[in-house]
């Protein structure tokens, strides 16, 4: 079993429902096999071997039942005919010995004995011709608190990376397995101290608790630990056996145990066993559930298999407080990582058929998936699919029907492979699924209202299925792949989706009610790789179509770039840092009926925006872009590959959103420009992990600001920059932009996320441009895009591209503005010592951060001259030549520097 399963909180084996009917002879054979297994009758099982069987003895199977199990359960999961009139069964076997159990899957081939078969026993004519074990899950334990032994706590101190748990006195109870204690309940007044070393993590702890260190009293704790590591943590003399057991303490400990044992490494085996089974923590891992007086239940976890192995979780509010890599993890993997390193396979292509009944929130789907194994060896693979969707079967042309497992409480499916599959093996899967699924709304792209009343005008219904709805089986991380989608919807609806539309929609095949119009089928082809697949279902009217004079990415080059990983090579995908192009871009605009007037103007703007962005980067990533203008209570949007949804409020909407970081009332085109920019930043160039979200949102925000300057001039840009600067400075103490989604997460303040990941990140790009100069900045942008198109990039990759283009060492700049959260405080003074010059002086009042500041000289005749001054030292002094009588000298009048100034 793969390691990710060991961290699952709950696991359910997926089994088809069996109708109430009389069992057939194969089912009776399975019943007989289960009876022999339960009795530990190895000889009886060996007696079921077919005389003509080519397989060896049945030893590996019979060994499961030695000694005689306390319980054995064998379930038939699948059956297919084989040559010779036989049957191939997929069996799942549960075996329980005392408080330990294991689950295995087996492929069993049955052949009939023929005329020599006994006639008296139903099912007795079947014999085992071949038997092969496919998977094995061992180390399942039925944990129970030992109520017969109580320990007295004497100055216990439990330590883990950055965590200390201290209890001077109290009581302890343990739950043991064969190798020793693995669960410990601690009762007594104690103190936990969590002290993350990273300043950004200390900031998050301060937001949660009011201090940089999480220092909390508790009255109970539940510890999960590997038995071999118990003696090192619970040192001699810390737990002393008591001669008697307090019934009151037992009851208290049992309450704590029952509260937390099902929350940690719990496995649910459904019809194999209704008992509660748990896995052991891996070597070096530890889970501490701590019941604090002030903060409720807090969970500390050390999970070495995770890229960020330390976490603290607030169970009451269900929010992460801290997540980061320990010093040992950083030494092992380095500072930067890609989420792709956490998965064992790479999906290369999808062929999806999905039928939506949107008003019932129902979907039926067939997903054909092609993937390549990346791990050295693979026995299971985990995919994401909405928990509400039932998997009806997983099939493979290479391996036949495959057993699938569901993780309870998570959007995950585990597929068991028949044996070990080596690296670079291509696997094709068919996943058949159906169920109820809620459409998603745009959240991060939407702004926040300060007041809301019920709308007078009902909105046109729209249904978005995208990256957060898990409406089709996909990797556990976003994964660039090509695709073909056939989407069926009721006749009154239209579809916009990732990909180029292939012809007009056609009636769905099959019988239809003559009184109604048949459903319609929309087909889309995605020949440039997309991070994820999306669609919107709504009533849409065609507004306009145009062919833009913009080159699109080359499909062959795109496929080659998409196949590269961070482990393969470094350097430009195009070979020289330049893009290559294929056909031009088709722009399609569709809208809800009431929005067609607005959409026509948006279409003209979208064409201009695409042409402008392509002139900066060198191309458009996708050969088609559809703008879907829909109705919503709030402005905003969502921009998957190939299309964007743009929210438009109805005239009667009483929602107010002006006090939001991304609400630019003086420039209404901003939302459109932001969403279009996501085709380059966020889609064509993705981000390696959540820390790098600013590469999507910050880049899109800055490109929208660039377009504001192009369309409306420097006056509008000044207003945009002032708003970005104000919000960035106001919220910077919440953490660096490298924290990604976690900014504002603890208190549920989405404005903090938008103020920093959108606005501050855009300002960082503006200051970087001022630092290296326009020519180097835009050359670096083109290089970065060419190097990382259809792949996932990180902040360090962007820095290297900019350093190559500018020949500047930018490490200090990135440390300050991407990984740090401080805002410089400058004192600015000026004087005119000579008629032909002015003297300017900047002094850092706090931390010294590299910040480029525009100095503007205004002459008495109204002329102005400006120069960017790099303020990189504690004190920076410059003498600037002047060409007339100076009226005033001002710093940062363009609002381009994230700095507080005393003038």
Looking at residue 12, what is its pLDDT?
A: 43
Measured torsion, CA atoms of residues 885, 890, 894, 898, in degrees rounded to the nearest 10 = 160
Tokens 């219904």 locate to: 461
Query: Mean of the pLDDT values across residues 75-83?
Result: 88
Query: Mean of the pLDDT values across residues 332-340?
Result: 93
- Measured distance CA(68)–CA(46) in Å, rounded: 16
Looking at residue 416, what is its pLDDT?
A: 83
Q: What is the mean pLDDT of the chain?
A: 90
Interstrand relation of 581-591 and 624-632 (parallel, antiparallel or unpaired): parallel
How far apart, in Å, are the Cα atoms of 410 and each of 12, 341, 387, 413? 11, 21, 6, 9
In 3D space, the residue among 417, 421, 409 whose CA is nearest the CA of residue 382 turns out to be: 417
Looking at residue 789, what is its pLDDT?
A: 97
pLDDT beyond 60 at 485: yes
Looking at residue 565, what is its pLDDT?
A: 45
- Measured distance CA(770)–CA(852) in Å, rounded: 6
Note the pLDDT tens digit of each residue in 797-807: 999 999 999 99
Looking at residue 21, what is its pLDDT?
A: 67
Query: Mean of the pLDDT values across residues 119-139?
Result: 79
- Measured distance CA(29)–CA(126) in Å, rounded: 7
- Measured distance CA(194)–CA(302) in Å, rounded: 13
DSSP 514: T
Maximum mean pLDDT: which of 113-122, 296-305, 647-656:
296-305
pLDDT beyond 50 at 470: yes
pTM of the model: 0.89
Measured torsion, CA atoms of residues 64, 70, 76, 81, in degrees rounded to the nearest 10 = 40
Burial class of residue 186 (count of CB atoms within 10 Å of its CB; 0-12, 13-18, 19+): buried
- Measured distance CA(526)–CA(505) in Å, rounded: 17
- Measured distance CA(586)–CA(544) in Å, rounded: 11
Range name among 6-10, 211-215, 768-772, 812-816 with the lowest pLDDT average = 6-10
Query: Tokens at residue 782, please?
Result: 């083109």
- Measured distance CA(890)–CA(888) in Å, rounded: 7
Q: How many CB atoms lie under 10 A from the CB of residue 88?
A: 17
Query: Tokens at residue 50, please?
Result: 């077919």
pLDDT beyond 60 at 654: no
Looking at residue 59, what is its pLDDT?
A: 87
Contact by Cβ (8 Å): 646, 625:
no
pLDDT beyond 90 at 8: no
Range name among 143-152, 506-515, 656-665, 704-713 with the lowest pLDDT average = 656-665
pLDDT beyond 90 at 509: no
Contact by Cβ (8 Å): 601, 637:
no
Q: Which residues pair with 130 in a beta bridge?
A: 109
Note the pLDDT tens digit of each residue in 171-213: 999 999 999 999 999 999 999 999 999 999 999 999 999 999 9
Per-residue confidence band for 440, with pLDDT thresholds at 50, 70 and 90: confident
- Measured distance CA(433)–CA(150) in Å, rounded: 50
pLDDT beyond 90 at 58: no
Query: Tokens at residue 664, please?
Result: 């630019």
Looking at residue 452, what is its pLDDT?
A: 46
Q: Which residues pair with 96 in a beta bridge?
A: 71, 101
pLDDT beyond 60 at 269: yes
Note the pLDDT tens digit of each residue in 809-833: 999 999 999 999 999 999 999 999 8
Looking at residue 265, what is its pLDDT?
A: 86
Per-residue confidence band for 493, with pLDDT thresholds at 50, 70 and 90: very high
pLDDT beyond 60 at 563: no
Contact by Cβ (8 Å): 165, 295:
no
pLDDT beyond 90 at 220: yes
Looking at residue 534, what is its pLDDT?
A: 97
Interstrand relation of 506-507 and 520-530 (parallel, antiparallel or unpaired): antiparallel
pLDDT beyond 90 at 355: yes
pLDDT beyond 70 at 690: yes
Query: Mean of the pLDDT values across residues 375-394?
Result: 92
Query: Mean of the pLDDT values across residues 446-468?
Result: 71
Contact by Cβ (8 Å): 494, 362:
no
Q: Which residues contact 315 (CB under 8 A, 6 or more apart)?
A: 263, 289, 296, 297, 298, 299
- Measured distance CA(325)–CA(315) in Å, rounded: 21
In 3D space, the residue among 108, 100, 78, 98 whose CA is nearest the CA of residue 16 turns out to be: 78
Looking at residue 573, what is its pLDDT?
A: 42
Query: Mean of the pLDDT values across residues 654-674?
Result: 79
Query: Mean of the pLDDT values across residues 304-326?
Result: 94
Looking at residue 561, what is its pLDDT?
A: 54
Looking at residue 196, what is its pLDDT?
A: 97
Query: Mean of the pLDDT values across residues 772-782?
Result: 98
- Measured distance CA(563)–CA(573) in Å, rounded: 10
- Measured distance CA(277)–CA(258) in Å, rounded: 13
Range name among 175-189, 542-556, 578-592, 774-788 with the lowest pLDDT average = 578-592
State what percent of residues in the chain have pLDDT above 70.
Answer: 90
* End-to-end Cα spacing for the chain: 65
Per-residue confidence band for 896, with pLDDT thresholds at 50, 70 and 90: very high
How far apart, in Å, are the Cα atoms of 560 and each of 35, 481, 552, 564, 686? 56, 12, 16, 7, 16
């Amino acid at each position: 079993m793969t390691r990710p399963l060991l961290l699952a909180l709950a696991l359910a084996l997926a089994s088809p429902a069996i109708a109430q009917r009389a069992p057939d002879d194969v089912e009776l054979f399975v019943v007989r096999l289960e009876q022999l297994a339960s009795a530990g009758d190895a000889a009886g099982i060996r007696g079921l071997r077919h005389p003509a069987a080519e397989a060896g003895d049945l030893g590996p199977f019979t060994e499961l039942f030695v000694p005689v199990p306390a319980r054995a359960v064998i379930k038939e999961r699948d059956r297919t005919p084989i040559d010779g009139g036989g049957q191939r069964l997929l069996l799942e076997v549960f075996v329980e010995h005392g408080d330990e159990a294991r689950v295995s899957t087996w492929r069993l081939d049955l052949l009939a004995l023929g005329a020599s078969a006994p006639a008296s026993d139903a099912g007795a004519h079947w014999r085992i011709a071949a038997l092969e074990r496919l998977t094995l899950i061992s180390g399942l334990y039925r944990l129970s608190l030992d109520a017969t032994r109580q320990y007295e706590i004497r100055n216990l101190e439990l330590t883990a990376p950055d965590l200390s748990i201290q209890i001077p006195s109290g009581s302890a109870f343990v739950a043991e397995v064969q190798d020793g204690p693995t669960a410990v309940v601690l009762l007594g007044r104690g103190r936990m101290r969590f002290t993350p070393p990273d300043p950004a993590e200390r900031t998050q702890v301060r937001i949660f608790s009011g201090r940089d260190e999480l220092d909390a009293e508790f009255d109970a704790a539940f510890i999960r630990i590997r038995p071999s590591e118990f003696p090192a943590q619970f040192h001699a003399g810390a737990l002393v056996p008591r001669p008697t057991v307090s019934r009151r303490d037992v009851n208290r400990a049992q309450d704590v145990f029952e509260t937390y044992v099902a929350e940690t490494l719990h496995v649910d085996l459904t019809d194999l066993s209704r008992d509660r089974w748990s896995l052991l923590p891996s070597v070096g891992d530890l889970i501490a559930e701590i019941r604090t007086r002030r903060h409720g239940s807090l969970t500390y976890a050390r999970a070495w298999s995770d890229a960020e192995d330390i976490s603290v979780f607030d169970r009451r509010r269900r929010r992460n407080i801290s997540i980061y890599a320990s010093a040992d993890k950083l030494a092992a993997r380095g500072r930067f990582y890609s989420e792709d390193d956490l998965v064992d396979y790479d999906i290369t292509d999808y062929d999806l058929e999905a039928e939506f009944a949107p008003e019932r929130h129902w979907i039926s789907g067939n997903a054909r998936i092609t993937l390549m194994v990346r791990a050295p060896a693979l026995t299971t693979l985990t995919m994401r699919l909405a928990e509400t969707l039932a998997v009806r079967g997983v099939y493979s042309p290479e391996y036949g029907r495959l057993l699938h497992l569901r993780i309870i409480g998570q959007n995950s499916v585990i597929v068991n492979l028949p044996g070990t599959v080596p690296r670079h093996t291509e696997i094709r899967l068919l996943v058949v699924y159906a169920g109820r699924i809620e459409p998603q709304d745009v959240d991060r792209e939407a702004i926040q209202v300060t007041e809301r009343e019920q709308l007078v005008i009902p909105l046109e219904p729209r249904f978005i299925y995208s990256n957060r709805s898990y409406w089709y089986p996909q990797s556990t991380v976003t994964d660039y792949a090509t695709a073909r989608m056939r989407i069926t919807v009721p006749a009154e609806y239209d579809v916009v989706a990732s990909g180029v539309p292939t012809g007009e929609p056609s009636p769905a095949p099959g019988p239809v009610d003559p009184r109604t119009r048949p459903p319609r089928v929309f087909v889309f082809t995605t020949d440039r790789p997309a991070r994820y697949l999306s669609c919107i279902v709504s009533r849409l009217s065609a507004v306009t179509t145009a062919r833009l004079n913009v080159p699109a990415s080359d499909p062959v080059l795109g496929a080659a770039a998409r196949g590269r990983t961070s482990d393969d090579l470094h350097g430009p995908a195009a070979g020289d840092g330049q893009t290559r192009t294929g056909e031009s871009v088709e722009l399609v605009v569709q809208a809800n009926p009431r929005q067609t007037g607005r959409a026509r103007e948006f279409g003209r703007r979208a064409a201009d925006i695409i042409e402008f962005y392509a002139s900066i980067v060198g191309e458009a990533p996708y050969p088609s872009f559809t703008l879907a203008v829909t109705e919503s209570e709030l402005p905003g949007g969502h921009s998957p590959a190939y299309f964007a949804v743009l929210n438009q409020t109805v005239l009667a909407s009483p929602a107010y959103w002006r006090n939001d970081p991304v609400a630019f009332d003086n420039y209404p085109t901003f939302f459109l420009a932001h969403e279009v920019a996501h085709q380059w930043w966020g889609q064509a160039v993705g981000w390696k992990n959540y820390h790098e979200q600013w590469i999507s949102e910050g880049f899109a925000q800055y490109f929208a600001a660039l377009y504001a300057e192009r369309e409306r001039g420097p006056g509008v840009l000044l207003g945009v920059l002032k708003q970005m600067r104000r919000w960035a400075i106001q919220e910077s103490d919440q953490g660096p932009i490298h924290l990604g989604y976690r900014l504002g997460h603890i208190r549920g303040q989405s404005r903090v996320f938008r103020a920093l990941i959108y606005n501050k990140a855009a300002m960082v790009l503006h200051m970087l441009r001022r630092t290296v100069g326009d020519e180097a900045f835009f050359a670096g942008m083109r290089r970065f895009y060419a190097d990382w198109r259809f792949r996932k990039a990180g902040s360090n990759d962007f820095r290297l591209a900019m350093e190559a283009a500018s020949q500047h060492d930018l490490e200090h700049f990135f440390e300050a503005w991407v990984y740090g959260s401080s805002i410089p405080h400058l004192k600015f003074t000026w004087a005119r010592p000579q008629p032909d010059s002015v003297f300017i002086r900047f002094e850092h009042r706090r931390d010294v951060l590299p910040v480029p500041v525009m100095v503007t000289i205004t002459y008495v005749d109204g002329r102005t001259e400006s120069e960017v001054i790099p303020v990189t030292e504690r004190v920076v002094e410059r003498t600037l030549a002047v060409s007339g009588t100076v009226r005033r000298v001002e710093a940062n009048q363009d609002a381009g520097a994230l700095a507080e100034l005393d003038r």
